[in-house]
């Protein structure tokens, strides 16, 4: 925050979120009684979904850029060796770099609370649901940041680390969703309505998608649709084996911790053993 760049980044981020919110309200403004134009309170829930997904995408766009160069940047400036000679352990260095990189994103997310207050003017969303969304944001930042630190540790050049981190983010956000749609489209051709759905396992693929996991917190029907539970012969929806957000948290928590452990292992140079 010592430079103007941080303040400008925060300003443009809030402008982007605010313009998206106002644009959604403008596009969904309809005629009410007396011929006047107004925004129906029933659409405030859709506004909340729109803001939640939009901010999640912006987090996915900014987090890799903040974390993918924390170690490789030190190596390029030739200060990593000096840092490794201090009394700080590898665990302290990695976790400190991760926390310091994500602290700015945490500030940005907290700064968007006034934008979400627009939803509370119309109702439809409780403070508990808003808290769950922000906790999901923090967890997503932790996952993307952990892999950004890993790629920054493994690759010696910052540019390569940034490209790989954005590629991983694109695979998580876009690849998992496209893979789910592809598998569902292929397997539906072999599905016959008279028998139980044998391809319900493809719902686990959608559970790896952050957007689907976020929406499943508020729409339980999405969990049944992902696993094909609404396609039973009797016509009654069955309970899905697991909710999408639960699978997302469980899988990516293990992967993120594994990424941090690998970063701690490979941050210090190791001598090759001679035969």
| Rg of the chain (C-alpha set) | 22
Residue 109 domain-assigned (yes or no): yes
Residue 272 domain-assigned (yes or no): no
**153 CB-side CA count, 13 A:** 24
Give, as one character, the DSSP assignment of residue 60: H
Model pTM? 0.85
- The percent of residues in the chain predicted with pLDDT above 70, rounded, is 84
Residue 275 reports pLDDT greater than 80: no
Residue 103 reports pLDDT greater than 80: yes
Alpha-carbon distance of 4 to 25, in angstroms, equals: 32
pLDDT band at 251 (very low <50, low <70, confident <90, very high): very high
DSSP output for 5-56: HHHHHHHHHHHHHHHHHHHHHHHT-EE-GGG-EE--GGGHHHHHHHHHHHHH
* N-to-C CA span, the chain: 51
- CB 262 within 8 Å of CB 150: yes
Mean pLDDT (the chain) is 83
Residue 34 domain-assigned (yes or no): no
Give tens-digit pLDDT for 118-151: 877 777 777 888 888 899 999 999 999 999 999 9
In this structure, of 18-27, 95-104, 116-125, 238-247, the range with the lowest mean pLDDT score is 116-125
What pLDDT is recorded for position 168? Answer: 94
Range of the domain at 218: 45-266
Residue 36 domain-assigned (yes or no): no
Residue 30 domain-assigned (yes or no): no
Give tens-digit pLDDT for 144-184: 999 999 999 998 888 999 999 999 999 999 999 899 888 88
Across residues 199-216, what is the average pLDDT? 85
pLDDT band at 210 (very low <50, low <70, confident <90, very high): very high
Residue 275 domain-assigned (yes or no): no
Residue 20 domain-assigned (yes or no): no
Alpha helices in 68-217 (DSSP H): 72-76, 80-84, 90-111, 113-122, 127-154, 158-170, 176-188, 203-206, 210-216
Domain count for the chain:
1
* Bridge partners, residue 30, by sequence: 38
Going from the C-alpha of 57 to that of each of 33, 98, 151, 158, the distances in angstroms are 37, 20, 21, 22
Residue 232 reports pLDDT greater than 60: no
Residue 178 domain-assigned (yes or no): yes
Give tens-digit pLDDT for 186-198: 777 766 554 455 5
Give tens-digit pLDDT for 33-76: 555 566 666 677 888 888 889 899 989 998 888 888 889 888 88
């Amino acid at each position: 925050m010592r430079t103007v760049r941080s303040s400008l980044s925060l300003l443009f981020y809030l402008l982007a979120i605010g313009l998206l919110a106002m644009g959604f309200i403008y596009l969904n403004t309809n005629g009410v009684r007396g011929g006047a134009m107004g925004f129906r309170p029933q659409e405030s829930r859709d506004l909340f979904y729109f803001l939640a997904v939009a901010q999640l995408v912006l987090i996915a766009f900014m987090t890799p850029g903040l974390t993918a160069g924390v170690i490789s940047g030190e190596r390029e400036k030739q200060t990593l060796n000096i840092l490794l000679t201090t009394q700080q352990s590898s665990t302290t260095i990695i976790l400190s770099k991760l926390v310091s990189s994500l602290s700015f994103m945490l500030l940005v997310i907290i700064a968007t609370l006034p934008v979400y207050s627009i939803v509370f003017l119309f109702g439809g969303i409780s403070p508990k649901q808003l808290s769950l969304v922000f906790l999901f944001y923090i967890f997503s930042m932790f996952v993307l940041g952990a892999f950004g630190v890993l790629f920054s540790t493994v690759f010696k050049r910052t540019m390569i680390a940034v490209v790989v981190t954005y590629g991983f983010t694109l695979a998580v956000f876009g690849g998992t969703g496209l893979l789910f749609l592809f598998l569902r489209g292929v397997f539906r051709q072999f599905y016959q309505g008279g028998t139980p759905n044998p391809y319900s396992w493809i719902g686990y693929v959608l559970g790896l998608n952050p957007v689907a996991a976020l929406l499943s917190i508020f729409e339980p029907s999405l969990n049944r649709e992902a696993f094909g539970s609404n396609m039973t012969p009797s016509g009654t929806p069955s309970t899905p084996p697991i909710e999408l957000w639960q699978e997302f948290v469980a899988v990516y928590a293990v992967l993120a911790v594994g990424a941090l452990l690998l970063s701690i292992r490979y941050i210090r140079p190791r001598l090759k053993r001679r035969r």
